[in-house]
Each structure stands twice: as C-alpha cells, then as structure tokens.
C-alpha cells in the first residue's frame, strides 16, 4: 500500500488526494492472518508539517477463540487517522531533521507513504483482548478438554471450593464419631 506523494508535498496546505484501497494477499503481521482482500478508502491531506492520512479499511481476520481454541473468521471495519512527516525535503532533496515523535510515521526518501504499518497498528488496536468465536461460546471442559459447544461431556461439574470444605468437615465429623 504505497502512495507517491511528491506532488502532494509541493501542493498548498489543504490539498488532498483520495484513493480506494483494494489489496489482495495482504500480510499485515506474522500473528495476523488476513483472509481474502482488504478494501477501504484513504485520504491524504497536506498539512503544515506533512500529511494527515485518514480513512478506513475492511478486512476479515482468521482468529482463534480464546475459550474453545477453534479458528474462526472475524470481519472487521477499522478507522485510522495518522500523521506522516517527510524525511527528505521534496524541493531541495535534503534530509529533514529526524522525526522524534513516536506516533508520527515517516514519508520515505522517495516520497512514498507506506500505509501497511499504520493499518497494522490500527488493526491490532481494534482487536479485542478476548476473541470469541461467538458471544456465548461455552469453551472447553477444564477436565477432559471436550468442546462444550458440541454438547455436555461425561465429567462431573467441578465442586465449588466452599462446598468441598464443607464436605470435608462433614466427612471428618463422621470419621470422629465412628
């Protein structure tokens, strides 16, 4: 997802370019499997120091359910808005002072904006901590590992700790009586 912004960097503040995004076979991150195309829309707008790049993408991720460990497909809509600053002056070709703000992305020395890293970060931020194959996923039996979405297993339900303490007291009591 590369955009040449040499002309845009020479344009007055407020000038913008818009593009549709339609990418096949996107690899965003080694831990993120994208299924099918990534589509969206991006606007690159000239601001004082560089460019404001905003828009949205739609993609489907192959995720693993936190509860039952099954893989499932999660469609996502992710908005983004990031600032890109030049590393090279577009008029003189001279290097610019280094960008010392972490949240600002670089426009490389060939005046290219690479959206991939910005989209990767925004997709990661949009991912929930707990990913569920469905809202009411029953998960796996902690004793035998059976997928409880497929029905109950043979295991006895785990006894609540307070109940087992009580059971032990009762048992001790009956032992001392005998």
Which CB sits closer to Zn ion, 71 or 79? Answer: 71
Place of tokens 């890293």: 117
Q: Does 144 bind Zn ion (CB under 5 A)?
A: yes
Q: Does 46 bind Zn ion (CB under 5 A)?
A: no
Q: Does 148 bind Zn ion (CB under 5 A)?
A: no
Q: Does 127 bind Zn ion (CB under 5 A)?
A: no
Single residue of 21, 44, 118, 133 touching Zn ion by CB under 5 A: 133
Q: Does 64 bind Zn ion (CB under 5 A)?
A: no
Single residue of 65, 99, 119, 123 touching Zn ion by CB under 5 A: 65
Q: Does 43 bind Zn ion (CB under 5 A)?
A: no
Q: Does 33 bind Zn ion (CB under 5 A)?
A: no
Give residues in contact with Zn ion (CB under 5 A): 65, 67-68, 133, 137, 141, 143-144, 146, 153, 155
């Amino acid at each position: 997802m590369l955009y040449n912004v040499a002309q845009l960097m020479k344009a007055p503040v407020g000038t913008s370019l818009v593009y549709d995004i339609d990418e096949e076979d996107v690899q965003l991150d080694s831990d993120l499997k994208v299924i099918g195309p990534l589509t969206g829309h991006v606007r690159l707008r000239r601001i004082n120091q560089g460019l404001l790049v905003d828009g949205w993408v739609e993609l489907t991720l192959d995720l693993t359910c936190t509860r039952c460990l099954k893989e499932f497909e999660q469609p996502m809509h992710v908005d983004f808005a990031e600032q890109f600053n030049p590393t090279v002056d577009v008029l003189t070709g001279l290097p610019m002072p280094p960008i010392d703000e972490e949240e600002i992305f670089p426009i490389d020395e060939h005046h290219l904006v690479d959206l991939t890293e910005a989209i990767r970060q925004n997709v990661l931020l949009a991912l929930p901590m707990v990913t569920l194959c469905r809202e009411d996923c029953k998960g796996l039996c902690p004793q035998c590992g059976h997928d409880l979405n497929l029905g109950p297993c043979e295991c006895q339900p785990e006894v609540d700790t307070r109940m087992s303490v009580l059971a032990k007291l009762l048992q001790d009591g009956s032992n001392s009586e005998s």
